[in-house]
Structure 1
Amino acid sequence: MASAPLPGSGAVFRGYNFANTWEQNAPLTEEQKTAITALSRAVAERPFPPNLAQEQSSGKDGNTVVSANDTVNQAGINVVLVNTHQFYKWFKDLESAMKSETEEKYRLYVNTLVEHIQICDGILEQVDDTLNLFNELQALQQSVATKTKTLHDACDRLLLEKQRLLDFAEALRSKLNYFDELENVSSNFYSPNMSVGNGHFLPLLKRLDECISYVESNPQYAESMVYLVKFRQLQSRALGIVRSHVLSILRSASSQVQSALRSSGPNKASVAEGVEESVIYVHFKAAASELKPVLMEMESRSSRKEYAQILMECHRMYYEQRLSLVKSIVQQRISEFSKKEALPSLTRSGCAYLIQVCQLEHQLFDHFFPSSSADVSNMAPLIDPLCTYLYDTLRPKLIYQANLDSLCELVDILKVEVLGDQLNRRGESLAGLRPILQRILADIHERLTFCARTLIRNEIANYRPSDEDLDYPARLEQHAEKASDTTADDNSTVRTWYPPLEKTVSCLSKLYHCLEPDVFTGLAQEAVEFCSISIQNASKIITKKSSPTDGQLFLIKHLLILREQIAPFDIEFSVVHKELDFSHLLEHLRRILRGQASLFDWSRSTSFAMTLSPRILESQIDAKKEIERTLKTTCEEFIMSTTKLIVDPMLSFVTKVTAVKAVLSSGAQNKKEDSVLAKPLRSHAFAAPEKLAELTQKVSDTLQHELPKVMAKMKLYLQNPSTRMILFKPIKTNIVEAHVQLQSLIKSEYSQEEMKNIGIVSIQHLQSQIDNLL
């Protein structure tokens, strides 16, 4: 039923305006309006709780209850308000009705809550009883849990104790096992059926080693030393069985080989066959297959002293058996080589034969002792005696060998072919040969050094030249004639060398790659020094027999060749000589005798000890620098002698003029001297124009006749044009300079007519004339 409209009033109007303004200023969105509508529908009618729904409809006595809301609604129906008083009265009644309605609602709600509280109190009492029961149950459960944990802890302790006792018992049993093994191992090793071939032998030996190691590492146990002694006795017995077994197998194989060799008769098998399947190796390879298991066990345990000793014993027995078979064959074959071949061929054949033998022996040794064969030094007791046969055969022949070529060939065979090629190419299996080959090589080096020193002393330092050796320049002229008829070669050129030079170059070229650098350096320095001295001595003889020019050119030629030939040697020709000097001894003794020094004053430098102490004098000799110095001096002497040969009159004249001018410049001592020296130069007898004409003509004739002879000798001695040019250039310069000085002097002291009569040539013409002689 719609309510009656309210009378218009200012408050209502203002409220409407405010609401309208609010709606306009803050309009709701469609979503918000939809939400408000849904909310309004949801709260429009709110049902009472089920327990209060009946109370709304009827009271306790069954009468109908009219709610305050109905009263309010009824009070607001059909009310007509005429004035403000009626409105206030109506509003007061409405407010009273609403208040009554509100109080009724809360009163009913309070009654409902009181009833709920009563119900909850009853429930709480029941809950408290239940909680008390739960607390009692929890206390009981805690007590049971405590007892259970105590029981579990006790069980765990018992289990741990049981496990500890079991472990202790097991440890005790494991320790006692090592001691208990004594009886088991003893009964097996002392059994008559026990042998190395028995399958139980090696496992028992291993168990015995374990027992010994354990007892050794636990000496604190009772009677451990007693057990250790017994275990070691068993080990010694076992290793003795092994030794006897190995020796028996080796001897059996050796006997089979010897029987096969004897049955072969004159066609005896030889190691030299180089065939691994030959009888001397086949039987031993079969023995190696039989012994390999036990020998490998010995090698695997060689870190222990006992097994290292038995392994060495096995090696020794093997060496003895092999040497008994091989040594006679090797000795016989090397003896055959020695009877049929020369020393170089014997060395080459003997080394090749030993290489073959050593390679086969190393392969056989590897079959027996795989681990030991890795160290080649283990085979030294077998290889060294075999190699000694070759050494003993070669050494007597080396002692009597004096030929440098043969000794150098031997060095090349051993150093290049054998040590450098074959041994490196075939690997470590031949390393056992290296010591004996190096020993042979050292003997050859020693013999080669001795022979080289003998050659240097006899053929170079003490060389006595024959007349033919010093027949210069005839030897060169004969060689030049032969060279013009046939094509000259290096050998024919070398034959023109002075013999000590040829022997020096030949000796050094042979020794350079054969000796150690230090040894070669000493020999080279000594040979070059003696060769240079020998050439200089020969030059002096040639100077007396032929001419100074021949002597100088001979020396220049051979020193140049010597310098050129030693240049490729990459060594220092400087050697430090040390010697003891006692030259101060006499002076010290004189001072002592004069009382200036005490014989027993050990604290002073003039004491007896210091007096007898020698001084060490060191002197450094560089043969190469000595050659350079001698060559330079000789070239300068040749240049000056040739210059003097051509222009000596000019040089003498210029020297005299220079002396006269020097006296004039120093001032005359008296009037007589002043009158003599003040005369013009041409008024002097030695400087007359006629004398100068004779001088220039003589120089010109010498230049035309003597200089070509010198040039011819230079070509004869020095085949290299650049070398001749180096020598001739300063000669030409000196000749031209002498003419320049003379011309300058003539121009300043003589007239043009006198100059023309003197007949001196121009410098350009002189240079052209000299150049034409080249």
Structure 2
Amino acid sequence: MASKASPPPPLPKSGAISKGYNFASTWEQNAPLSEQQQAAIVSLSHVFSERPFPANLMQENVSSLENGLVAMTKDSNFGKEGSVDAALVNTNQFYKWFTDLESAMKSETEEKYQQYVITLTERIQTCDGILQQVDDTLDLFNELQLQHQAVSTKTKTLHDACDRMLIEKQRFIEFAEALRSKLNYFDELENIASNFHAPSMNVGNENFLPLLKRLDECISYVESNPQYAESGVYLVKFRQLQSRALGMIRSHVLTVLKGASAQIQAAIRANASGKSTVAEGVETSVIYVRFKAAATELKPVLEEIESRSSRKEYAQILAECHRLYCEQRLFLVKGIVHQRISEFAKKEALTSLTRSGCAYLVQVCQLEYQLFDHFFPSSAEDVSSLSPLIDPLSTYLYDTLRPKLIHETNIDLLCELVDILKVEVLGEQISRRGERLAGLHPTLQRILADVHERLTFRARTHIRDEIANYIPLNEDLDYPAKLERSAEIKSEATSVEENTDVYKAWYPPLEKTISCLSKLYRCLEPAVFTGLAQEAVEMCSGSIQKASKQIAKRSSPMDGQLFLIKHLLILREQIAPFDIEFLVTHKELDFSHLLDHLRRILRGQASLFDWSRSTSLARTLSPRVLESQMDAKKELEKCLKATCEEFIMAVTKLVVDPMLSFVTKVTAVRVTLSSSSQSQQLQSVMARPLKEQAFATPDKVAELISKVATAIKQELPMVMTKMKLYLQNPSTRTVLFKPIKTNIVEAHVQVHALLNGEYSLEERQNIIKMVSISDLQVQLDSYL
């Protein structure tokens, strides 16, 4: 048997294989297969796991013998001849043949694989060369990449440096520009100074206002940046230039205003032409229209000053321009205004003078406001700017009116003046035109205050002379005849005359009080009117009470009472519409304790110089302040109530006095019987029945009942007639008669009770014959 073939040499392990493996591994890591792809590879491996025999290795012939083994085979792949013929007779031959065949097959297989290995080796070597070239290329690429990165870094650094340089350049440029802009404010000093000191520079120059504006900007900048070097020095120099410029403006304004005033005065003299006054139309045309035209050149400068009035320097120069303007205007119009008011004072009475003078001042003030608004449009809202002009003009009217007001005594005329000033002038003209006439408001209020003061003084004088100290005439106290005559006249008079006659029937102080309060109520301040009303009501009530006492002496006490009730009711009714409190607090200084302190000091009980004790000089000489409240309305009510009660008791006594005396005696007897201190004889006398008493016999009782019945029939109707004469209001009479009726009925009830208890029915019906209570009430009701 042939020897076994030597094993094939191992495959060379080159760098290409390692790199290929590494490449494949890297490939697997960088490009992993999906699950679907891996499943496809597994399927393919299963299909090709059993390799089939090649086509050239087909079995041609196999024979077996019964007695021996003969195998005939043919294989085209064995040897270069392409066939191997063998005749196998026995087992040894078979094994030999099989061994040879196996060796041939191994040799053939190894040759094939060796050839394959050679091919693979050649290809590996080729791949190694290629990989070496790739490695070299990759090394070159990496080196090129590093160089590119270095170049990029240097380029980026260069670009960043360029950007920084550009930013720094721009910052330097901006810094230089900012520095130049800041230095421009300081550099302007020389330019502005040279322009302001130029001979041709004046306020009318077109460059004056721009230079002034630039100067203000420089001052504002230097003021806001005191940290700059020499800013204080530059600020002083700038302010000096500003003061010079503002001085030039002041001089210019004064020059133009004086020139305009001179032109107006020349025009006034030309228009007057020997006349004593200038016509009103000519006056308005000359003083206002021409002045506006003459001074128009000031408007641009004044507007510039007003636009900067928020700064202190310009506010001062603006106020100075206002003052100069008002001085020139006052110089022009004061003579004409004084002349006009003087003409009104010569021709007109006080009321018409007040109305005409105020209307003229309103017209002048309105025209002056319009002219001022033309020159100072932004300052016209501040009416105080025109005060140096309006106050002197309005003072002319005040000085004219005041002497006349001081000597005026007519309250009606003073009240009319209050209406003119408060309603017509302040309420209508001043309020309707608003701010334009606000300058007149202080003077008009001053005039109104003087009128109020004079009116208050005259009202107090009137209350004192005409009410408190009124001396009544005989006809004023001729009651009830005066009321009877008034009733006769009233039945014949018309409605107008009837209303006038109502006041004639009043007591004169009452009529004067109501008339005075009615006039003062709408003219005086509430606090002042309250004091006057309290005083007037108090004085009027006192005067009526005095008259009532005199009437009681002249006519009868009942006439005096009804007179007082009548007039107090009228007074209470008439003061009710005045919505005021009649409560007044009076404060007085009380020195009554001073004498006692001085006596103690003289006795040595206290020291004059002991400042620490209550008897010190300061405490000794300090007066006490005593406060007392007086409510005239409550006092009036109290007096009215007391008078009504007196009247009720007087009428009650007039009618049922016998009954009241009888009841009083019966009560006295019963009290005496209840007392144990009386003697036996007196008790025996008193113990007799009431009808056996001398004053209570049936005949005596019948006599007093007859007197009362006669008084009810005769006296009570006369009382009711007087009540109707004094008190025209039925409800008032009813209220006053109701307690009288109650008292009369109550007296009869008491007597009825005594009669029922002490006298028999026969005595009551046949002798006494007293009227029943129900019949009495019906009889009393018939008198109303």
Report the TM-score, using the length of structure 1 for normalisation: 0.82
Paired AA for residue 302 in structure 1: S
Counterpart of 1:737 in structure 2 is 746
- How far residue 552 of structure 1 moved from its aligned partner, in angstroms, is 0.6
**Separation in structure 2 between the aligned mates of residue 326 and residue 65 of structure 1, nearest angstrom:** 151
Q: Secondary structure at the match of 1:576?
A: strand
Aligned amino acid, residue 415 of structure 1: K
For residue 394 of structure 2, the aligned residue among 376, 387, 399 is 387
Shift of residue 593, structure 1, vs aligned partner: 5.8
Aligned residue among 252, 262, 271 for 1:264: 271
- Structure-1 residue corresponding to 2:309: 302
In the TM superposition, 1:298-447 aligns within 5 A as 298-447=305-454
Which structure 2 segments of 5+ residues have no match? 1-39, 60-108
**Matched residues in 2 for 1:155 and 1:311: separation?**
58
CA distance in 1, matches of 2:126, 2:57: 26
> How many angstroms does 1:260 deviate by?
2.1
| Post-superposition offset of 1:117 | 9.0
Shift of 1:459: 1.2
What is aligned with 1:759?
769
Name which of 588, 598, 604 aligns with 1:579.
Answer: 588
Alpha-carbon distance, 1:419 to partner:
0.8
Deviates more, 1:138-147 or 1:411-420: 138-147
Aligned to 2:287: 280
Using a 3 Å threshold, how does the CA distance of structure 1 residues 298 and 271 change in structure 2: closer, same or farther?
farther
Residues 57 and 64 in structure 1, CA contact (< 8 A), matched pair in contact too: no
- For structure 1, which segment, 359-368 or 754-763, has the greater mean C-alpha deviation from structure 2 after superposition? 754-763
Task: Name the stretch that deviates more: 252-261 or 618-627.
Answer: 252-261
- Given the superposition, is the C-alpha separation of residues 597 and 291 from structure 1 closer, same or farther in structure 2, using an over 3 Å criterion? closer
Residue 590 of structure 1, CA deviation: 5.1
Equivalent in the alignment of 1:567: 576
Is 1:143 the counterpart of 2:147? The answer is no
Distance 2:247 2:680 in 1: 130
Counterpart pick for 2:249 among 222, 242, 249: 242
> Which secondary structure does the structure 2 equivalent of 1:736 belong to?
helix
Match of 1:85 in 2: none
Is the 8 Å Cα contact of residues 274 and 356 (structure 1) preserved in structure 2? no
- Counterpart of 2:106 in structure 1 is none
Take 2:578 and 2:120, find their aligned partners in 1: how far apart are those partners? Answer: 133
| Counterpart Cα distance in 2 of 1:318 and 1:585 | 63
Q: What does 1:69-80 correspond to in 2, within 5 Å? A: none
Amino acid at match of 2:710: D
- What is the CA distance between 1:395 and its match in structure 2? 0.5
Tell me what 1:652 maps to.
661
* Cα deviation 1:118-137 (Å, max 9, x = unaligned): 99877665554443223212
Alignment-derived partner of residue 696 in structure 1: 705
Aligned partner of 1:200 in structure 2 is: 207
- Amino acid aligned to 1:770: L
Q: Residues 119 and 656 (structure 1 numbering): CA distance in 2 closer, same or farther, change over 3 Å?
A: farther
Question: Which amino acid letter does the alignment assign opposite residue 657 of structure 2?
Answer: D
Q: Is the 8 A contact 2:271 2:282 kept in 1?
A: no
- 1:453 is aligned to 2:463: no
The alpha carbon displacement at 1:652 in A equals 0.5
**Take 2:307 and 2:644, find their aligned partners in 1: how far apart are those partners?**
79
Map of 2:165 onto structure 1:
158
Q: 1:599 to 1:284 in 2, by over 3 A?
A: closer
Please name the residue that 2:31 is paired with.
none
1:389 positional shift: 0.7
Mapped contact 1:508–1:524 kept (Cα < 8 A): yes
> Residues 358-381 of structure 1: CA distance to partner in whole angstroms, max 9, x if unpaired?
111101100001011111111111
Q: Per-residue displacement from partner, 1:475-497 (whole Å, max 9, x unpaired)? A: 11111111112235222111111
Per-residue deviation at 1:219? 4.4
1:271–1:280: 8 Å Cα contact kept in structure 2? no
Q: Establish whether residue 536 from structure 1 lines up as the match of residue 545 from structure 2.
A: yes
Are 1:480 and 2:487 matched, yes or no?
Answer: yes
Q: Distance in 1 between matches of 2:127 and 2:506?
A: 147
Q: Does 1:496 align with 2:505?
A: yes
Deviations 1:723-760 (A, max 9, x none): 00000111111111111211221222122332221222
Distance 1:496 1:46 in 2: 149
Deviation at 1:225, TM superposition (A): 4.3
2-structure distance, mates of 1:291, 1:268: 33
Equivalent position SS for 2:592 = coil
Deviation at 1:289, TM superposition (A): 3.2
In structure 2, how many angstroms separate the alpha carbons of the residues matched to 1:344 and 1:269?
Answer: 24
Match of 1:626 among 615, 632, 635: 635
Contact 1:288 1:367 in 2 (8 A): no
CA distance in 1, matches of 2:171, 2:656: 126
**How many residue pairs were aligned?**
684
1:184-195 matched pairs, under 5 angstroms: 184-195=191-202
Mapped contact 1:602–1:608 kept (Cα < 8 A): yes
Question: In the aligned structure 2, how far is the partner of 1:769 from the partner of 1:114?
Answer: 167
The aligned residue for residue 33 of structure 1 is none
Contact 2:257 2:328 in 1 (8 A): yes
Distance 1:66 1:744, change over 3 A: farther
**What's the Cα RMSD here?**
3.2
Secondary structure in 2 aligned to 1:238? helix
Asked if the contact 2:308/2:314 (under 8 Å) is kept, the reply is yes
Deviation (angstroms), 1:463:
1.6
User: How far did residue 468 of structure 1 move?
Assistant: 1.7
Q: CA deviation at 1:409?
A: 0.7
Moved more, 171-180 or 604-613: 604-613
CA contact (8 A) 1:647 1:735 kept: yes
Aligned pair in 2 of structure 1 residues 163, 736: CA closer, same or farther (>3 Å)? same
Question: Structure 2 CA distance, aligned partners of 1:66 and 1:296?
Answer: 130
Q: In structure 1, what residue type is equivalent to 2:771? A: V
TM-score under structure 2 length normalisation: 0.81
**How far apart, CA to CA, are the structure 1 residues paired with 2:661 and 2:128?**
164
2:192 aligned counterpart, secondary structure: helix
Letter matched to residue 666 of structure 1:
S
Q: For residues 332 and 537 of structure 1, what CA distance do their matches in structure 2 show?
A: 55
**Contact 2:271–2:278 (CA<8 Å) still a contact in 1?**
no
Matches for 1:80-229 after TM superposition, within 5 Å: 127-229=134-236
Q: Is the 8 A contact 2:589 2:624 kept in 1?
A: yes
Query: What amino acid is aligned across from residue 379 of structure 1 in structure 2?
Result: L
Q: Cα deviations across residues 615-650 of structure 1 (Å, max 9, x unaligned)?
A: 322211111111111111110110000000011011
1-side partners of 2:647 and 2:507: how far apart? 20
Q: Secondary structure at the match of 1:469?
A: helix
CA separation of 1:559/1:124 partners in 2, compared to 1, >3 Å: closer, same or farther? Answer: farther
- In structure 2, relative to structure 1, the CA distance for the partners of 1:270 and 1:145 (3 Å cut) is farther
Counterpart residue type for residue 773 of structure 2: I
Classify 1:262/1:594 alpha carbon distance in 2 versus 1 (closer, same or farther; 3 Å). closer
Question: Equivalent residue for 2:684?
Answer: 675
* Letter of the structure 2 residue corresponding to residue 505 of structure 1: I
Change (3 A) 1:64 1:443: farther
Residues 627 and 117 (structure 1), Cα distance of their counterparts in 2 relative to 1, 3 Å cut: farther
Shift, 1:396, TM fit: 0.5
Q: Indicate conservation of the 8 Å contact 1:208/1:231, yes or no.
A: yes
Note the C-alpha offset of 1:114.
8.2
Could you tell me whether the CA contact under 8 Å between 1:532 and 1:627 is conserved in 2? yes
In structure 2, what is the Cα distance between the partners aligned to 1:609 and 1:341?
Answer: 58
CA distance in 2, matches of 1:268, 1:452: 43
Q: Distance in 1 between matches of 2:453 and 2:642?
A: 38
Structure 1 residues 594 and 212, CA, compared in 2 at 3 Å: closer, same or farther? closer
CA distance in 2, matches of 1:770, 1:119: 164
- Partner SS, residue 448 of structure 1: helix
Residue 290 in 1 paired to residue 300 in 2?
Answer: no
Cα distance change, pair 65–519 in 1 and its aligned pair in 2 (3 A): farther
- The letter for the 1-side match of 2:290 is H
